[in-house]
Amino acid sequence: MAKKLKHIDDVTIRFAGDSGDGMQLTGDRFTSATAIIGNDLSTLPDFPAEIRAPAGSLSGVSAFQLHFSSHEIFSPGDNPDVLIAMNPAALKVHFDELARGGTIIINTASFTPKNLKLAKYDTNPLEDDTLKDFVVYPIDMSRLVKYVCEDMNISPKMVERTKNMFALGVLYWMFNRPMDTTIKWLKEKFAKKPEIVEANTRALNAGFNYGSTARIFTTNYKVNAAKLRPGTYRNISGNYATSLGLLAAAVKSGLPLFYGSYPITPATDILHYLAEFRNFRVKTFQAEDEIAGVTSAIGAAFAGSLAATGTSGPGLALKGEALGLAVITELPLVIVNVQRGGPSTGLPTKTEQADLFQAIYGRNGEAPIPVISARSPGDCFYAAFEAAQVALKYMTPVILLTDGYVGNGSEPWIIPNIDELPEIKPNFFKPGDGREYLPYGRDEESLSREWAVPGTPGLEHRIGGLEKEDGSGAVSNDPDNHHKMVTLRAQKIANVVNDVTPCRVIGEQSGEVLMLSWGSTRGAARAALQKLLKEGKSVSHLNLRWINPLPADLGEILGRFKKILIPEINLGQLAQIIRARYLIEPYQLNLVRGRPFLTSDIINAVDKLIG
């Protein structure tokens, strides 16, 4: 039967199934194949919060969304055009978000009375009118993979686990993706288990061939490569980009890198990635708790390393006291906070932006720390590099805020030339020039104190949590000295503004509405801007990178617009800072759902403001 080939500009696909159905792996493999073609893409992995939710239950559904296009995109998409539902629970959880008239590919073998009951279906949606407004492709994937593997001496359980590769093969045919990258990956991943390679390869080919021969499929689609900036690209996740950014900063500064951390979702991958770079003078330490993780990093900074630690919101709370120690000792340290839903354990696998106040204010005493945020997975590299630059120049801890969406999501990333990255010159004291070493002697411009590696002859010194005398570093209880040191530390952080890049407004430089975002909300805001400008709306966009200190030109820019809209995945933390600092009343868009903003959320909010 002849098939039609249809060209489309972009598409959003969501893979959904039980947490044991391999949806994250399936989505990752489709992403890799899409990156090879040259499409621009953005992904959103969505993990269940429970470690072992009951199979087939609504709470156990795992999903992976991918938006890919022939032009530049900024978000993982709103409503999926295609839903792959491996069981009834996956269909129930994601059905309402599917674009009307969209495509649903269903594994019919899982629609048993038991699974329908677990998904809280009273009747089988394949047999009633539930799906009447959609294009539905019912496929008994379990039966078909059993058939293609029937001559192999492997267990039925192993055969059943290949059904995700069958679904992937169908999608590869439907959207003209190459299969060779996945087959190569299978051979490398399971090199010592050839029977797994063979079974999954058979299932993948069977799915592809089913798409090309089954009469139910009449059309497949082609999305041309995007016209991106010239360069060598790779697909990269935010946590991996963060790891590379820290490593690049260590190389450019000539320092060894130490990363001390305690495993916590969704930041743990940074520890795993950096552990692979031991040949680059990287030392990783999996601590017994959050406090040990950060204090080990403070010790490494004292000893002359570029030191970093990573965590999520609950861990940042535990690290708070030690961060005060890093502030008073004035040691360089990068703290990565991959934010997740809270409070307490909250939504450990979901995303949120609710740690902004904690990052800026969450310590006892006057303990200011610079705060920078990453806007996308690829930007995590540059945000981590910049955080390290500031930490080493100003001899201060710096907090880098990412979040679960940015950390686990991925996008095409142009590989930078390491020679083009700026050099980083640590502020080490240079012995032999006749000067006495003063632990709290300062650079006149930056107010950064000079760094000395313990054990260097003539540079013996002692620092700690008790207040120190300006210059000498001797323990001091003098009230005037304490006021002076508090003021100096605050001014030093304020001086970071000299290294903050001026704001960049996208769109008109003045007008009706300015969308002011920070961190990962930039993606949905930029996508909304594209559509709003096409409609002729007077709207512009500015995404903040540094939040403490705020850019020097921000106040003047805000004054050019009639209305300021601040979208945040919290209840208005940046809005409160802007209100207090600039005495303006911003409009707030606050949705705390454990997921990124939809483009439509922001478009609707702007339309209400404009009228």
More confident residue, 3 or 309: 309
Query: Would 447 be classed as within a structural domain?
Result: no
Same domain, 216 and 242: no
Question: 552 lies in which domain range?
Answer: 511-610
Do residues 273 and 240 make contact, with C-beta atoms less than 8 angstroms apart? Answer: yes
Query: Would 595 be classed as within a structural domain?
Result: yes
- The pTM assigned to this predicted structure is 0.95
Q: Which of 352, 350, 304, 407 is nearest to 570 (CA)?
A: 352
Same domain, 180 and 305: no
Same domain, 325 and 407: yes
DSSP H helices in 83-162 = 88-94, 113-118, 141-148, 156-160
DSSP string covering 6-48: EE-SEEEEEEEEETTS-HHHHHHHHHHHHHHHT-EEEEEEE--
Mean pLDDT comparison of 218-232, 320-334, 457-471, highest-scoring range: 320-334
Same domain, 154 and 71: yes
| Mean pLDDT, residues 198-215 | 95
Residue pLDDT, tens place only, 486-537? 999 999 999 999 999 999 999 999 999 999 999 999 999 999 999 999 999 9
Same domain, 285 and 402: yes
Task: Give me the percent of the chain exceeding a pLDDT of 90.
Answer: 92
Write the CB contacts of 199 (distance below 8 Å, at least 6 apart in sequence).
149, 152, 154, 158, 159, 162
Same domain, 359 and 217: no
Residue pLDDT, tens place only, 51-97? 778 888 999 999 999 999 999 999 999 999 999 999 999 999 999 99
Residue 20 reports pLDDT greater than 90: no
Same domain, 29 and 139: yes
Write the CB contacts of 390 (distance below 8 Å, at least 6 apart in sequence).
370, 372, 396, 398, 496, 499
Residue 433 reports pLDDT greater than 90: no
Spatial distance between the Cα atoms of 360 and 498, rounded to a whole number of angstroms: 19
Residue 264 belongs to a domain with what CATH number?
Answer: 3.40.50.970
Same domain, 172 and 85: yes
Query: Would 545 be classed as within a structural domain?
Result: yes
Same domain, 406 and 521: no
Instruction: Give the model's pLDDT for residue 52.
Output: 75
Residue 62 belongs to a domain with what CATH number?
Answer: 3.40.920.10
Instruction: Give the model's pLDDT for residue 3.
Output: 78
Same domain, 150 and 101: yes
Instruction: Give the model's pLDDT for residue 535.
Output: 94
More confident residue, 462 or 589: 589
Query: Would 133 be classed as within a structural domain?
Result: yes
Spatial distance between the Cα atoms of 275 and 257, rounded to a whole number of angstroms: 11
Query: Would 385 be classed as within a structural domain?
Result: yes
Instruction: Give the model's pLDDT for residue 561.
Output: 97
Same domain, 148 and 196: yes
Query: Would 440 be classed as within a structural domain?
Result: no
The token duo for 516 is 């002011």
Out of 182-191, 338-347, 431-440, least confident range: 431-440
Spatial distance between the Cα atoms of 6 and 30, rounded to a whole number of angstroms: 19
Residue 604 belongs to a domain with what CATH number?
Answer: 3.40.50.920
Residue 285 reports pLDDT greater than 80: yes
| Mean pLDDT, residues 546-558 | 98
Instruction: Give the model's pLDDT for residue 1.
Output: 60
Same domain, 251 and 209: no
420, 453, 477: which is the final residue of a domain? 420
Residue 482 reports pLDDT greater than 90: yes
User: How high is the mean pLDDT of the chain?
Assistant: 95
Out of 169-183, 427-441, 505-519, 523-537, least confident range: 427-441
Give the full edge-to-edge strand order of the sheet including 282-286.
Answer: 282-286, 257-261, 306-311, 333-339, 397-403, 371-373, 546-548
| Mean pLDDT, residues 30-43 | 95
Query: Would 200 be classed as within a structural domain?
Result: yes
Task: Give me the percent of the chain exceeding a pLDDT of 70.
Answer: 100
Query: Would 472 be classed as within a structural domain?
Result: no
| Mean pLDDT, residues 225-236 | 91
Number of domains composing the chain = 3
| Mean pLDDT, residues 604-608 | 96
